[in-house]
Structure 1
Amino acid sequence: MNKLEFHLEGQTALVTGAGRGIGKAIAIGLAESGSEVVLVSRTFSEIEETAAYIQEHTGRRAIALAADVTSREQLEETFREAIVEMGRLDILVNNAGMNIRTPALEVTDEQWETIMQTNLKSAFMASQIAGQHMKDQGGGKIVNISSVGGHTALRTGVVYGSTKAAMIHMTKVLAMEWGKYGIRVNAVGPWYFHTPLTEKLLNDAKYLGEIIERTPLQRVGELHEVVGPVIFLASDAAGYITGQTLLVDGGMSIYGF
C-alpha cells in the first residue's frame, strides 16, 4: 500500500463543532494530512483561533464560519459560503454534539429536544446538504462522530445514547443510498478522551477508576488516537469501506459499562 493513500492533498473538509476538544483536534489533523479545512462552530473566537493556528503551522488554508448547526437556514448558508470560498467539498465530519447527564426518570422534554437537535438532526441536515453537493461533484466522504454510548448502554445517558445509536444507523442508511454516487459514509465511536468537556469527570478519581477498570487498555484515550481513525476513513486507504462504525474505545465495548 502506498502511504500517499492516507494523504488528503487537494481536498477540502468541513468540520462541525471544531472549536474545541475532538473537533478541534480533527480539524488540525485533517490539515496536517493535506486538506484545506472549514471550521464551523457557534463560538467564532474559538474557530478563528484554530483556523489561524492551522494556517500558521501547516500552511493549509483554513476558514472559520460561525453557525448554529441546529438551524437549516444557517447550515445551508454556511455550506454555500464554504463551497464558494474553497471551490469544493470532499469531506464532512459531523462532530458537533453535547450531553446533559440526567437519570432517565428525570429527563425533561427540553433536554430531549436540545440533545436530539444538536446531536442527530444537525448531523442529518449537514449530511443532506453536503450529500447533494457531493453527488453533483461525483463523490465525497462523510465521517460521523458517534460514541461508544451508541453501541453500549451508559448510565445517565439515555438521550445522548439514543442520538448516537441513531447516528450509527443513519450512517448505514446513507451509505446504502449514496454509495452509487461515490459517497462513502462511516462513523467513529469514541469512549473517554481528554477534552475540556470531560475534564471535570476525569478529575474525579473514583469515576476515573471505574472507567479504567472497564477499559482493557487501562487508560483514557488521547486526542490523536481518535484523529487517526477519522483521517483513515476520509482517505483513499478506506476506499472500499462504507456504512461502518469504528469504535475507538480502548476495548471498553467488549464489557459494557
Structure 2
Amino acid sequence: MTPSLFDLKGRLALVTGSSRGLGNALARGLAQQGARVILHGRDLAQVEAQARAMADETGASVEAVSFDVTDADAARAAVDALIARHGTPDILVNNAGLQRRAPFNEFAPADWDALVATNLSSLFYVSQSVTRAMGERGSGKVVNIGSVQSKLARETIAPYSATKGAVAMLTQGMAADLARFNIQVNCISPGYFKTEMNTALWQDPAFNQWVEKRTPAQRWGHFDELIGTLVYLCSDASSFVSGQNIFVDGGMTSVV
C-alpha cells in the first residue's frame, strides 16, 4: 500500500447536515485531507458562515448549499443545480439526521413521520440524484451515516432504531445496484459521541456512567476518531469494499 491510496486531493465531497455537529466534523476531516467540500444545511446563512470558517481553517475549497433533503423535488433540483455549478461529486456523505424520544406506546405519529423523512427518505432522494450522475461518469463513493442503533435497540428510541436499521439495509441494496457503475456504498455507524443531538444524554451523570460501563473502551468517542474510517471509505483504498456497515463504537456492539 502507498499513501496515494488514501489521497483525496481535489475530490469533490457533498456532506448533508454538515452545518454543525458530527456532519461538520466529517466535512472538516475531508477538507483537511485535500477534498473540495460542499457543506449543506437548512439555514443558508449558517452554512455559509461555516464554509468560510472551514476554508480559512483548512485552506481547502469549501462551498455552501441549502435545501430540504426531505423534499424529493427540492433535493433533485438542488443536486442538479449543484452539479451544473461544481460538477458531479466524487463523494457523497449522507449525514442529515433527526432524533425524537418517547416510550413506544406514546410516540407521536408526526414524530415517526419526521424521523423516517429525515433519517431515511432524505438519504434515498439525495443519493438517487447524485449516483445517477456518478454512474454516468463511472465512479463514486457514498458513505451513509448509521448508528449503533442500526444493530442495538434501547428504550424510548424504537423509531430512530428502525430508521437506522433501514439505513444499514439500504446501504446493502444500493451497493448491489450501483457496483456495476464503479460506485462503492458503505455505512459508518458511530457509537456514543457527544453531539448536539444527544446533549441531554451526555449531560446526565447516570447515562454518562452507563455509556462508560457499557463501552469496552470505557468512554465516549471523539469526532476525530471517525475521520480515518471516513477517509478510507472515500478513497481508492476501498475500491473493492461495498455494502459494509463499519461500527466505530469502542467495541460496544461486540459485547453483551
Per the normalisation by structure 2, the TM-score is 0.97
CA contact (8 A) 1:102 1:157 kept: yes
* Aligned equivalents of 1:210, 1:31: Cα separation in 2: 34
Where in structure 2 are the equivalents of 1:9-158 lying within 5 Å?
9-158=9-158
Q: How high is the sequence identity, in percent, across the aligned residues?
A: 37
CA contact (8 A) 1:217 1:250 kept: yes
Unaligned runs of 5+ in 1: none
Q: Which residue of 2 aligns with 1:191?
A: 191
Task: Output one character per residue of 1:14-62: Cα deviation in whole Å (capped at 9) or x when no partner.
Answer: 0100011110001111111111111111122332122112221222211
**How big is the shift at 1:229?**
1.2
Range 194-203 or range 4-13, more displaced: 194-203
Q: Which residue of 1 aligns with 2:211?
A: 211
**How big is the shift at 1:152?**
1.1
CA contact (8 A) 2:147 2:188 kept: yes
* Aligned equivalents of 1:76, 1:245: Cα separation in 2: 26
Q: Which residue of 1 aligns with 2:168?
A: 168
CA RMSD of the aligned region, Å? 1.2
Task: Output one character per residue of 1:174-219: Cα deviation in whole Å (capped at 9) or x when no partner.
Answer: 1011100000000000111122222331111111001111000000
**How big is the shift at 1:255?**
3.2
What SS class does the counterpart of residue 196 from structure 2 fall into? coil
Runs of 4+ in 1 over 6 A off after TM superposition: none
CA contact (8 A) 1:26 1:227 kept: yes
CA contact (8 A) 1:38 1:82 kept: no
* Aligned equivalents of 1:42, 1:117: Cα separation in 2: 15
Unaligned runs of 5+ in 2: none
Q: May I ask how many residue pairs the two structures share in their alignment?
A: 256
* Aligned equivalents of 1:10, 1:61: Cα separation in 2: 9
Range 56-65 or range 165-174, more displaced: 56-65
